[in-house]
A and B are shown apart, each in its own frame.
Chain A
Amino acid sequence: MLRPFTLHRPDTSEEACALLARLGEDAAVYAGGTELLLLMKLGLLRPRHLVDVKRIRPFDGITDGTHLAIGATVTHRTVERSALVRARCPLVASVARHVANVRVRNVGTVGGNLAFADPHSDLATLFLTLDASVELVSPRGRRELSLADFVRGPWETAREPDELLASVRLVPWPPGTAAAYVKFGVHERPTLGVSVALRLDGTDGDSEGRGGGARVADARVAIGCVNPRPARVPAAEARLTGVAVTELEDVTGAAAEAASADTDPADDLYGSADYKREMVAVFVRRALRIAAARARGAEPAARFPHAVVA
């Protein structure tokens, strides 16, 4: 049961931003509502105005170009099923398939997810390995921020109150990149999310990194859920860069330890700090092994209880 509010349905981002500027703290941005309406039901947020952004046309598409741009109001389901996403960055589609549950995916949006900045967000973690940036619009114009700069902390972003997240831009990995996303946890939100991507040099790899080249030219490792915000781990990435694919197994341990050491978890419902730290190591190792197998052209039948492998 919700308290009454006025629902505004602007057709343009200009209108929407103007509304936000005028209404200030009394307004909330509304897209899918899967987070917002829940917080309103719990009484934690009591906006008297909702600004529905779903009628803003440029927000609801996925476009290709130098970047893959996913509009803010695109639902997880649309991402999961998008032929474009599957072609350009299939792991994004696979991860979208496992966000929350089917009902949340049908209604919840990518923009809503990123703007809400839940530390447990799968997409935020994954997108960090795709050089993601967000496009923000406001009465002052447009600006672009890296995702890492946009997400400041738990449920905290750099979005100004009169700003709207218009899209997220991803830099799809080049062909020959082996990647994996693994999340682990017993609860509704995962305890841990690990995203790894290994760009391999060499020529023959397909867009999913199979049958690719002989050496890791560039590595991405991002950890989500266990820290105040998802983050890449340069120390882990350094351990992987330049390593021959055939020798990847030898360095996964070191990369995993580096990722684990970089973590600063707290004790909470999702686990105690030392458990989370250890699980970072475990799942970075596992994710790297899966990526390494994919680099060799194999698809490992990896299944771990309470874990999802994408």
Chain B
Amino acid sequence: MRIRLAVNGRAQDLEVASHALLLDVLRDVLDLKGAKRSCDTQVCGACTVLVDGLAVSACTYLAVEADGRSVLTVEGLADGESLDPLQRAFLDAGAVQCGFCTSGMLLTARALLRENGAPTRDDVLHYLRGSLCRCTGYRKIVDAVLTAAETAR
């Protein structure tokens, strides 16, 4: 099936199988390796990308559903060399360790901040309920999201 979509602002015209998963199309066809396959069951969030601004589990989302839509991956967060406030905040806070959860965390946080520019800590915890990290213990991640929200305001 033919799909036409925007990925990180760039138009893409692709032929994909109806059973192709968005995660595999992004990683293997478009060479955008930032989204990761981990639990493969929508629990961990490592595969999170934004479709029309909404966080989805790319591991369980048909590529054909992205037809006519815009997809944002971690590779699209920075504006050239200029990092998104979330990326900057994650780096400054020490919220990155192995990095495998990082792209999912960043995109989920991005969706949160677009929806709510002044989240409370509880709002952040609610949004990140489906984003697992085994390295950081989450504290610096939550702090980074709150810092980025402040910076953006």
Is A–B contact present in the complex under a CB 8 A cutoff? yes
State the A residues within 8 Å of B (CB): 1-7, 33-34, 37-38, 41, 50, 77, 100-104, 106-107, 188
Minimum Cβ distance to chain B for residue A39 (Å): 10
Given A1-B21, A34-B42, A106-B56 contact (CB < 8 Å): yes
Given A37-B62, A102-B129, A104-B57, A7-B42 contact (CB < 8 Å): no
Q: Is the CB–CB distance between A103 and B18 below 8 Å?
A: no
Complex: A34 Cα to B62 Cα, angstroms: 11
Which of B17, B62, B111 neighbours the largest number of chain A CB atoms within 10 Å of its CB? B62
24 A-B pairs with C-beta separation under 8 A: A1-B24, A2-B19, A3-B19, A4-B17, A5-B19, A7-B1, A7-B18, A33-B62, A34-B57, A37-B61, A38-B60, A77-B54, A100-B42, A101-B42, A101-B43, A101-B130, A101-B131, A102-B111, A102-B127, A102-B129, A103-B55, A104-B42, A104-B57, A107-B61
Q: Does more than half of chain B's interface fall in helix, strand or loop, or is it mixed?
A: mixed
User: Is the CB of B48 closer than 8 A to any CB of chain A?
Assistant: yes
User: Is the CB of B92 closer than 8 A to any CB of chain A?
Assistant: no
Residues of A within 8 A of B64 (CB): 7
User: Chain B 1-40 against A: per-residue CB contact (8 Å), 1 yes, 0 no?
Assistant: 1000000000000000111110010000000000000001
Minimum Cβ distance to chain A for residue B120 (Å): 14
Which are the 5 A-B pairs with shortest beta-carbon distances?
A101-B130, A7-B18, A2-B19, A106-B54, A103-B57
Q: Is the CB–CB distance between A101 and B45 below 8 Å?
A: yes
User: Is the CB of B151 closer than 8 A to any CB of chain A?
Assistant: no
User: Chain B 46-86 against A: per-residue CB contact (8 Å), 1 yes, 0 no?
Assistant: 00100000111100111010000000000000000000000
Chain B residues 82 to 125 lying within 8 A of chain A, measured CB to CB, are: 108, 111
Complex: A77 Cα to B52 Cα, angstroms: 14
Complex: A41 Cα to B58 Cα, angstroms: 13
Complex: A107 Cα to B1 Cα, angstroms: 21
Complex: A33 Cα to B42 Cα, angstroms: 11
Minimum Cβ distance to chain A for residue B145 (Å): 13
Minimum Cβ distance to chain B for residue A107 (Å): 6
Residues of B within 8 A of A101 (CB): 42-43, 45, 129-131
A104 CB contact (under 8 Å) in B19, B21, B130:
B130
CB closest residue in chain A, given B62: A33
Residues of A within 8 A of B56 (CB): 103, 106-107
Complex: A3 Cα to B21 Cα, angstroms: 11
Minimum Cβ distance to chain B for residue A135 (Å): 25
Complex: A5 Cα to B62 Cα, angstroms: 12
Given A7-B18, A103-B42, A106-B54, A41-B60 contact (CB < 8 Å): yes
Minimum Cβ distance to chain A for residue B102 (Å): 16
Minimum Cβ distance to chain A for residue B60 (Å): 5
Residues of B within 8 A of A100 (CB): 42, 130
Q: Is the CB–CB distance between B41 and A38 below 8 Å?
A: yes
Complex: A101 Cα to B56 Cα, angstroms: 10
Complex: A41 Cα to B48 Cα, angstroms: 18
Complex: A106 Cα to B40 Cα, angstroms: 17
Q: Is the CB–CB distance between A103 and B130 below 8 Å?
A: yes
Residues of B within 8 A of A188 (CB): 43
Residues of B within 8 A of A33 (CB): 60-62
CB closest residue in chain B, given A36: B60
CB closest residue in chain A, given B104: A103
Which of B1, B45, B55 neighbours the largest number of chain A CB atoms within 10 Å of its CB? B55
B18 CB contact (under 8 Å) in A5, A41, A102:
A5
Which of A3, A5, A38 neighbours the largest number of chain B CB atoms within 10 Å of its CB? A38
Residues of B within 8 A of A50 (CB): 18
Complex: A5 Cα to B129 Cα, angstroms: 32
Minimum Cβ distance to chain B for residue A38 (Å): 6
Known: A41-B41, A102-B55, A103-B42. 8 other contacts (CB 8 A): A3-B19, A6-B18, A33-B62, A34-B60, A37-B61, A41-B60, A77-B54, A101-B131
Minimum Cβ distance to chain B for residue A237 (Å): 32
Residues of B within 8 A of A6 (CB): 18
Residues of A within 8 A of B62 (CB): 7, 33, 37
